[in-house]
Amino acid sequence: MTRVSVGGRLHFGFLNLALSRERLYGGLGVALAEPRVVLDATRADGVDCDHPDAREYVERAVELLDVPGASVTVAETLPRHHGLGSGTQLALATLTAVAEAWDRDPQVRARAPDLGRGGRSGVGVGTFEAGGFVLDAGHPTTRFTTDRPADGEWTVPAVAVRHTIPDDWRFLLVLPDAAPGRDGDAEDASMRSAVDSADPELGDRISGIVTRRLLPALAEERLSVFGEAVAEIGRLNGAWYADQQGGVYRPPVGAVVEALSESSAITGAGQSSWGPAVYGVTDTSRAGAAVAAGEAALERAGVGGEVRVVSARNHGARVE
């Protein structure tokens, strides 16, 4: 039996959505220790998996690896479509588990497109491989239109920057009781609309924040500057999506982010991907106060939800 476990990820946004610039997308994010995907795989003569989402990936993995089959049991999963990378982490964990059960090389990066993963952002694949903070290189705009390429007809963006997160940094996770974020055709339509109307100057501002504030803050381990930088990147990304999600943040995320931004326990807050997951940057010394701030933010927004403080994950998926 092979067991694969991997945490989720936060997605802070993209470097650029305007086709008038040389490169499109360019995702930024960080690997989390939890919540996690945990699954087990054993050899089989056919496909045996009672988890509806994982079963599709088991079937595809068996085909890609050219093996007789696999029996897969899912012990833990990420909340679906909450902005934590549930689909990518489940797909890659399934591929890896089936491959390792048959003593095959999963070739995660090469095969991710065949699983429908890594088309726009390379953050999910990059964090699965090595954890930490990841900035991917995006794609040349000359190869792209606003339409999403068909599955398998892309390569996952290369990791341009990978950085270890300091041991005492923490991330507050607030998961409001709200409808899941966009995926599939709805996400594709929203991204097409955002790219069609993207203001290139926003991308230029984001690039300046990344090079002059975020990356130096990581290198020098300055938590406050890092938190402020990712929060500003998130706000600028939200301007691209405002027409699609009803504002810079999707409801009720805006109210939660506003409340967290007023807390001294939080250094920068924002929405991960399409939400509804909200993150806040903090550290071990303020973890308890950060949880209290998260609970107060949900109450202020008038919604229920889950609040926890988690550490970053500075390694790739675990294979046992």
**Mean pLDDT value of segment 5-30:** 96
Residue 149: the pLDDT is 63
Q: How far is CA 304 from the centre of its chain?
A: 23
Let me know how long the chain is: 320
Report d(CA 282, CA 310) in Å as an integer: 10
Number of folded domains in the chain?
A: 1
Angle at CA of residue 74, ends 69 and 79, nearest 5°: 130
Report d(CA 9, CA 242) in Å as an integer: 23
Residue 195: the pLDDT is 87
**Global pTM value:** 0.94
Residue 86: the pLDDT is 96
**Mean pLDDT value of segment 51-71:** 97
Q: Which two tokens stand for residue 197?
A: 């109307």
Q: Is 268 helix (H, G, I), strand (E, B) or coil?
A: coil
Q: Is 272 helix (H, G, I), strand (E, B) or coil?
A: coil
Say if residues 136 and 158 touch (Cβ distance below 8 Å): yes
The per-residue pLDDT for range 233-270, each reduced to its tens digit, is 999 999 999 988 889 999 999 999 999 999 999 999 99
Given a cut of 60, is residue 301 above it in pLDDT? yes
Residue 190: the pLDDT is 72
**Mean pLDDT value of segment 225-240:** 97
The per-residue pLDDT for range 144-199, each reduced to its tens digit, is 655 656 665 679 999 999 999 999 999 999 999 998 765 666 767 777 788 888 99
DSSP β-ladder status, 70-76 and 47-48: parallel
How many C-beta atoms lie closer than 10 Å to residue 177's C-beta? Answer: 11
Q: Which domain holds residue 129?
A: 2-319
**Mean pLDDT value of segment 119-130:** 96
> Given pLDDT bands bounded at 50, 70 and 90, which one contains residue 223?
very high
**Mean pLDDT value of segment 27-43:** 98
Name residue, tokens 């931004």: 261
DSSP β-ladder status, 169-176 and 305-311: antiparallel
For the packed helices 223-245 and 184-197, what is the interaxial angle rounded to 10 degrees? 100
Say if residues 220 and 140 touch (Cβ distance below 8 Å): no
The per-residue pLDDT for range 73-123, each reduced to its tens digit, is 999 999 999 999 999 999 999 999 999 999 999 999 999 999 999 989 999
Report d(CA 39, CA 86) in Å as an integer: 13
Candidate from 33-42, 148-157, 309-318 with smallest mean pLDDT: 148-157
Cβ neighbors of 142 (< 8 A, separation 6 or more) are: none
Residue 13: the pLDDT is 97
Q: Which two tokens stand for residue 92?
A: 């890659």
DSSP β-ladder status, 70-76 and 139-140: unpaired
Say if residues 255 and 300 touch (Cβ distance below 8 Å): yes
What whole-number percentage of the chain has pLDDT above 90?
Answer: 86
Computed over every residue of the chain, the mean pLDDT equals: 94
Report d(CA 240, CA 17) in Å as an integer: 8
CATH classification at residue 57? 3.30.230.120
Report d(CA 20, CA 13) in Å as an integer: 18
